[in-house]
Amino acid sequence: MLVELKNTTKKLCVIGDPVLHSQSPLIQNTMISALGLDYVYLCQPVPRGMCKPWLECAKFAGYAGFNATMPHKEELVPLMDELDSDAALIGAVNTVCIQEGRAIGHNTDGEGFLRALADLGVDAAGRTILVLGAGGAAKAVCLKLAQAGAKVFVCNRTVEKAAELCKHDPLGRLVPADFELETLCRLAAQADLLVNGTSLGMAGTGGQFADFTFLDALPREAPVVDLIYHPAETELLRQARLRGHRTANGMGLLIHQAILALEHFTGVQIDAGEMGKLLQTVLRD
Ligand code: NAP
């Protein structure tokens, strides 16, 4: 990956706290290089609570835009001059374009997930989907699944958070539930798709599902998708694969949300199929 820096090169970055582990600079600079665009993408630590001064700084320094990761996605919402419909629906911003001094907030996580599902041949319309978790990632996924016409059971350890998430669905297609094994088994039996949006199984966190027997209740033809991509195969995905389910990790979401973000930044239409293949090779190394 080689990005040529010129005096005209436009600046992009990812902000977060922490952020130094982010794959976004690798992903975005790979795409910028492959497309021959006059942009560079940097990694910018911004402490929690400091989005306002950062935004002023980014505008003054002439940034074309930036991505945001934890914990900044919600803090950015009231700071935007304009929000797109997904950022307004989800109540979180992961992509900011700065145009003529105005900050325009987008959210590409939910749409990125729908595109990753489409790659698997799954159309959410009319499906019953079991989503585990009610954090930031699960919220974007659940609200876009509901908008796409799915009925979604949202199971979370802290059931109040699931209930709060479901209140944001203007269509009333999200149903909150607890995270007890009996509940997971009952709802899995009705599901056409299972999505893990918890951090259980993520490398380095130490958390893991106490019991996988809810997978025995899931119809065999229902795919299982984990939003986690590190490790590439979580224990949930391994258990699902051993039971005969089609599985996918969070790499599809990671790639599609990034492609959508670069399209917002640059206005360039990207062939997601070809770019996805390139990014898979870079991210595997
Ligand atoms: P988050 O806001 O911190 O939410 C974490 C979720 O995990 C909450 O629902 C939490 O439940 C649940 N959880 C944590 N420990 C648990 C336990 N021991 N038992 C049951 N539930 C537990 O995090 P997030 O940003 O939504 O991220 C969630 C996962 O998605 C992470 O693993 C992250 O790597 C992945 N992710 C992937 C992508 C991608 O591009 N593929 C993008 C974003 C996130 P409580 O509410 O009860 O605490």
List, for residues 51-110, the tens digit of each pLDDT value: 999 999 999 999 999 999 999 999 999 999 999 999 999 999 999 999 999 999 999 999
94 annotated as a binding-site residue: yes
CB 54 within 8 A of CB 14: no
| pTM recorded for the entire structure | 0.96
CA distance 247 to 200: 16
Query: Is ligand 1 within 6 A of the CB of residue 264?
Result: no
Question: Per 3-state DSSP, what percentage of the chain is helix, strand, and coil (rounded to 5)?
Answer: 40, 20, 40
Q: Is 34 annotated as a binding residue?
A: no
169-223: pLDDT as tens digits: 999 999 999 999 999 999 999 999 999 999 999 998 769 999 999 999 999 999 9
The question of whether 144 is a catalytic residue gets the answer no
Average pLDDT along the chain: 96
**241 carries a ligand binding annotation:** no
- Rounded CA separation 228/237 (Å): 10
Cβ 202 under 6 angstroms from ligand 1: yes
Which atom from ligand 1 is nearest to the alpha carbon of 198?
7
How much distance in Å is there from the Cα of 61 to the middle of ligand 1? 34
Q: Which of 10, 59, 73, 151 is catalytic?
A: 73
Spatial distance between the Cα atoms of 174 and 188, rounded to a whole number of angstroms: 15
CA-nearest of 145, 153, 107 to 124 is 145
How far apart (Å, rounded) are the C-alpha atoms in residues 107 and 140?
Answer: 8
User: CB within 8 A of 265, min separation 6: which ones?
Assistant: 12, 39, 64, 65, 95, 97
Instruction: Tell me the CB-side half-sphere exposure of residue 186, using CA atoms within 13 A.
Output: 10
